Structure 1
Amino acid sequence: MLRDYSTISPSARALLLMKGVTDIPYAKEAAELMMRPEPYEPDYDNKDARLWARILHFEARYFSINEMLEDIDAHNILELSSGFSFRGLEMTTAKNHLHYIDTDLPGIIEAKKDIIEDLLDDVRKHSKLELMQLNVLDEEQFSKVIRHFEKGPVTIVNEGLLMYLEPEEKERLCEIIHHILRKCGGCWITGDIYFKKDLSKTLKRKDALGEFTATHRIDEKKFDDEQSARDFFDRMGFVIDKVNEIDYKELSAYPYFVENLTPEQVEEFRKIGKVRETWRLKAR
């Protein structure tokens, strides 16, 4: 049966279609499902370096979290606001004795369950994947999800979440996560340490993702700079266990980005500097 994924929001579709040109596991297959009955035809000949910069950004964010997970012996993993990312499917298919809970708001989770049913072609005998609805600011709901795990440390991960939250909402989320980590042990891996930068000339694009960013005032909700982010998490009771240093040259989108840069853009990107980091945090 061909499922209808046309109701998925334009921004979520746009992000997945961009990721489909990368080596992110299941991204291409999920993009193909979402485009049916039309074919999904990635445009590797696109000469827009700004587009490839965005694709490279999302690919780096995904794999930076994977690299952090490789450092630790995680058996209980909770992913927050995962959207149409399939890390849970990837990890539970490849590893044994892993319990992965993938969460987001109801509409996304229901659509994602259908996509995973269409993607899944094997049976995980020794690992468990659950997809659950979760409002991350609801402590009672959060605690109910955590209780699905067996006793032991919990690793909480997220790619993009903090940049959607107001300051008081960030604090509330930190309080909830801090309480859980103090009780269960474990860590929080977040690829969501974004810094305010002027991207108006270099990266801004008038498309579904650009409109989504403007509508949700995402640029306003980023940290002022790296020090302000460090100060915030210190105040919320966290210590930085590790900062990821990903090798962009190893990513699949990197050659397309470099090949299409103009000399002017090289200088523009150099001036912008680092726009995001992935941190592994522990409760103090």
Structure 2
Amino acid sequence: MEATPRDYSSISPTARALLLLKGMTAIPFMKEAAQLILSPDPYTPDFNSRDLAMWAGVLHFEDRYWSIDQLLAGLPLRNILELSSGFSFRGLAMMQQPGYYYVDTDLPDIIRLKKQLVAALDSVSTGGTMELLPLNALDEAAFSQVVAHFPAGELAIVNEGLLMYLNTMEKEQLCGIIRRVLEQRGGYWITGDIYIKTDERKMDMQRSKEWQEFYRQHQIHENKFDSFDQAESFFNSMGFVVDKMAVREHARLTALPRLLDVATEEQLQQMRSVGRARATWRLKLAM
């Protein structure tokens, strides 16, 4: 890590909070990035915290991240486009393996700050290529220009943390763009954003006022799917079929034993009663 700290003060409070949460996991480069944004103060996460809501949040984001990797594994393609990547560093992790061409995208302000973080993180490429490019995923002309950066071959488009910000019309617009890209290039769309509406009050956990306001401002609940069946019907109507669904990899989830330690049996039962609220799907074009 570079010796001279940079100024990361313009990272939004929600993005900063999310990065600090992910720093408590084994997700590649998250701890180092958390240390950078707090520099010169130390990053000292409280692993002894008994805050159930916090551990549930850590578990959620940890599971979502690894589920994308799970559905990428085994695919023969090496061209990967990530949409709305935020302060995640999957591309850097991919560069530890040879042959990948990874394009990491988000809105311009985020990419500007992320370039600073990537430059400061210690990473070693074994022959892959990574670009960080600004992209509004709903801008089809800009999307096509980004896709043109890739060498020949099929493409994997991945995202986590995007669809819940889009209303139905915007989801349809994004689906149309991705469908047309895959019709030209071939490949898959892996999305960790199959969120469905649930009654979180049953889980006996209260979000902070900041997170409540964030959810309200971006209409997160309203933008979720009504059910998994409705989500699948939606993608079918957009020309996609579900190729594979991720399964939870309990052994990879460092937050799971901590959540189980702090939750009472009643709280665990309440969580189970709510049921599954998110899934990661690998989609392909309908034949």
Taking structure 1 as the reference length, what is the TM-score of the superposition? 0.97
Alpha-carbon deviations, 1:122-171, whole Å to 9, x = none?
A: 3x251100000000000000000000001110100001100000110000
Alpha-carbon deviations, 1:11-42, whole Å to 9, x = none?
A: 00000000000010100000000111111101
Paired letter, 2:91 = G
Counterpart for residue 247 of structure 2: 245
Paired letter, 1:45 = N
Paired letter, 2:145 = K
- Aligned residues with identical type, % of pairs: 50
Count the aligned residue pairs.
282
CA distance in 2, matches of 1:231, 1:263: 36
CA distance in 2, matches of 1:91, 1:225: 33
Corresponding residue to 1:3 among 2, 6, 16: 6
Counterpart for residue 277 of structure 2: 275
CA distance in 2, matches of 1:155, 1:146: 11
CA distance in 1, matches of 2:9, 2:278: 31
Q: Equivalences for 1:199-238 in 2 at 5 Å?
A: 199-202=200-203, 203-238=205-240
Counterpart for residue 149 of structure 1: 150
Which deviates more from structure 2 when the two are superposed, residues 113-122 or residues 216-225?
Answer: 113-122
Counterpart for residue 177 of structure 1: 178
3-state SS of the aligned residue for 1:38?
Answer: coil
Which deviates more from structure 2 when the two are superposed, residues 144-153 or residues 210-219?
Answer: 210-219
In structure 1, stretches of 5+ residues that fail to align are none
Alpha-carbon deviations, 1:72-92, whole Å to 9, x = none?
A: 122100000000000000011
The answer as to whether partners of 1:158 and 1:190 remain within 8 angstroms in 2 is: yes
3-state SS of the aligned residue for 2:279?
Answer: strand
In structure 2, stretches of 5+ residues that fail to align are none
Paired letter, 1:275 = A
Paired letter, 2:93 = E
Paired letter, 1:204 = Q
CA distance in 2, matches of 1:69, 1:155: 8
Alpha-carbon deviations, 1:194-244, whole Å to 9, x = none?
A: 010011353431154343122211011000001100100000000100011
Q: RMSD between aligned alpha carbons?
A: 1.2
CA distance in 2, matches of 1:204, 1:186: 40
Alpha-carbon deviations, 1:249-272, whole Å to 9, x = none?
A: 531111100000012211210111
The answer as to whether partners of 1:15 and 1:209 remain within 8 angstroms in 2 is: no
Q: Equivalences for 1:96-107 in 2 at 5 Å?
A: 96-107=98-109
Counterpart for residue 45 of structure 2: 42
1:79 counterpart = 2:95: no
